Structure 1
Amino acid sequence: MTARHASSPLEALLVDGRFDADVYPSEPMSRHTMYRIGGPARFYVQVASIGALTRLVEACERTDVPWVVVGRGSNLLVADEGFPGVVIALGRDFRTCRFDEDTQRFCVGAGVPLSSVVQEAFRRSLAGLEFAVGTPGTVGGALRMNAGSRDEWIGERVASVTTFTPGEGLVRRAGDEIAWDYRTSSFRPEDIILECELSVEPADPFFIRGKMEASLARRKKTQPLSDPSCGSVFRNPEGNSAGALVEGAGLKGVCKGGAQVSELHANFIVNTGDATARDVKDLIELVQAKVSETYGIELQPEVRFLGFSQ
């Protein structure tokens, strides 16, 4: 595509040499999801600055082109047909992490891997983030889904969040102005999380190391970390374990094409090597139907679906 042939404000922006972003047309999303599954996005754009992000989103809005912001694709299933819009990834300016000694807070860009913040806190003997050790996603994704365990989650550590929303601009909110719940938050789909402040406190490094090692050991023992997956597929229903329900319905090890309900943890669906998005989606629906039939419980997916027709 050349500037001379650009046919819309969006396409004109994407070929503008001053646009602070890397643009990849027809980019296979299998390169950007932990599942290693997904057809091409019309455009995959890694924006390096807030200026580039706002210009891109506004151009998409003006031209009615669908857009979505993704992190490391740890909780994402992209259709085999791909996504007919713009996939936005947060680059350079959204990947900074600094610690403020006065406030005892980390100021972290949404594009930073959560695991690197956990390691930096450990290096400084700061406690509060040990529960997130080994979490594969970005800080932005962790905030949106309030990542954590049943007992601890990231929302408890959030002092503030800055977002950008088309038509509204930049908004900074205190952590207690956001509703945090199990695996959910009150961010709207159109809110783009840019950065946050996370509160931590000094602690004995041996205490921090012990909690991190125990959490990692538990993950390694109970989760199929060596196989491509999206992590937990379903939210735990109130008072129940999704994995126990799936296992109780006799579905451990069940396959659809190259997708399999993990033999290690029944709330994981893994890509055994050649799974398609349709294989995974079909298996998710099979599990939902069987658990509903067996227990009368409707399992709700945690995984985000992109590019599937409704």
Structure 2
Amino acid sequence: MMAARAVDSMATPFTREPRGRLEARVPLAGLTSWRVGGPADWLFQPADLDDLVEGLRDHADHAPQMPVTFLGLGSNVLIRDGGLEGLVVHLSGVLNERRSLDGERLLLGAGLACAQAARFGAREGLVGAEFLAGIPGTVGGALAMNAGAWGGEIWPLVESVATVDARGELHTRTPADYTIGYRSVRGPADEWFTGCVLRLAVGDPEAGTRRIRELLRERSAKQPLGLPSCGSVFRNPESDHAARLVEAAGLKGLRHGAAEISPKHANFITHDGAARAADIEWLLRHAQAEVQRRFGVQLEPEVRVLGRPAGTNEASEGTA
């Protein structure tokens, strides 16, 4: 975990007025799938890629000490109740391009929802990415964590990715530039994904669409989709399942405040709309501790825990 850093939350991130949205102290709960968390010091939703590049260049010259966090659909983050320091770049609904290239590849923007990407691929008669329909995030988020479902992962499909760095410079990279693992991606520092090209197989559009429907029915039957959650909280340990371990520890259905380890699926933490981020984080840490105590297994979160606890002025940031 990175050390806490103090910043001047009143400082502006840019000298210019962007074409997109820039606001101070914007609540982030509504921008995450858990529907909890405090405000961003600054929220920037660029109008397009050029606006993003210009904003990052301005930020690098004007306020380089201010942290930058990229946020898509907010499905893989727990933002603490004190909010996020610095500049939050919100890409959901932006950079959502989708195009078929030469009948075998898809060009996808980082802000495109994974479910939209899956459906588009099926309509184009390309198969292999149907599993993306079950990932509740954006393409950029999926690239950042090598998201997967039903045995599929996104990086085996990747031909190339487009990124932007902290100084607003654009790059095109290949999988060789990254170390890819199970729900893990390590690459050049201070770069964020803006899009990718996936190489898929030619198939039957109707069959692909049917497969997506089947996968979504299975997901609905097994997961508590009607309540706020982040999807799976923990990575599966090698040769085991996080849900089995949490349930075997007797934690299924455990509540803290308004948050609950789901009685339907023990690798989900849900709430009824009244929880605080602190309630969810307590359950996450408690499940880790109990599984470690009882089975000697250290559960690694898939979700990133970010920001300040309520009532603090310094931020802590990192993977839980």
Tell me the TM-score normalized by structure 1: 0.90
Number of residue pairs aligned between Structure 1 and Structure 2: 299
Is 1:146–2:146 an aligned residue pair?
yes
Q: Specify the code of the residue in structure 2 equivalent to 1:42.
A: D
What's the counterpart of residue 85 of structure 2? 84
Q: CA deviation at 1:189?
A: 5.8
Larger relative contact order (Cα-Cα within 8 Å, sequence gap ≥ 6): 2
Instruction: Return the alpha-carbon distance in structure 1 between the equivalents of residues 171 and 300 of structure 2.
Output: 30
Q: CA deviation at 1:8?
A: 5.6
Of 32-41 and 60-69, deviating more is 60-69
Instruction: Return the alpha-carbon distance in structure 1 between the equivalents of residues 186 and 250 of structure 2.
Output: 35
What's the counterpart of residue 245 of structure 1? 245
What's the counterpart of residue 296 of structure 1? 296
Structure 2: 5+ residue runs without aligned partners?
A: 1-9, 309-314
Q: CA deviation at 1:54?
A: 2.9
Q: Specify the code of the residue in structure 2 equivalent to 1:187.
A: G
Q: CA deviation at 1:21?
A: 1.6
Q: CA deviation at 1:304?
A: 1.2
Q: CA deviation at 1:222?
A: 1.0
Q: Specify the code of the residue in structure 2 equivalent to 1:29.
A: L
Q: Percent identity?
A: 36
Q: CA deviation at 1:240?
A: 1.1
Q: CA deviation at 1:260?
A: 0.3
Instruction: Return the alpha-carbon distance in structure 2 between the equivalents of residues 151 and 119 of structure 1.
Output: 18
The 4+ residue runs of structure 1 with deviation greater than 6 A are none
What's the counterpart of residue 20 of structure 2? 21
Instruction: Return the alpha-carbon distance in structure 1 between the equivalents of residues 266 and 276 of structure 2.
Output: 19
Query: Is the 8 Å Cα contact of residues 92 and 138 (structure 2) preserved in structure 1?
Result: no
Cα displacement string for residues 121-155 of structure 1 (whole angstroms, at most 9, x for unaligned residues):
12222211111113221110011111113621111
Query: Is the 8 Å Cα contact of residues 65 and 85 (structure 1) preserved in structure 2?
Result: yes
Q: CA deviation at 1:50?
A: 3.0
Query: Is the 8 Å Cα contact of residues 55 and 168 (structure 2) preserved in structure 1?
Result: no
Cα displacement string for residues 172-208 of structure 1 (whole angstroms, at most 9, x for unaligned residues):
1123443322111123562110111011222123432
Query: Is the 8 Å Cα contact of residues 126 and 202 (structure 1) preserved in structure 2?
Result: yes
Instruction: Return the alpha-carbon distance in structure 1 between the equivalents of residues 188 and 255 of structure 2.
Output: 34
Structure 1: 5+ residue runs without aligned partners?
A: 1-6
What's the counterpart of residue 97 of structure 1? 98
CA 31–181 in structure 1, closer or farther in 2 if over 3 Å, else same: same
Q: CA deviation at 1:113?
A: 0.9
Q: CA deviation at 1:59?
A: 4.0
- Indicate the RMSD between aligned Cα atoms, in angstroms: 2.0
Q: CA deviation at 1:225?
A: 0.7
Query: Is the 8 Å Cα contact of residues 140 and 195 (structure 1) preserved in structure 2?
Result: yes
Secondary structure of the residue that 2:224 maps to in structure 1? coil
Query: Is the 8 Å Cα contact of residues 160 and 197 (structure 1) preserved in structure 2?
Result: yes
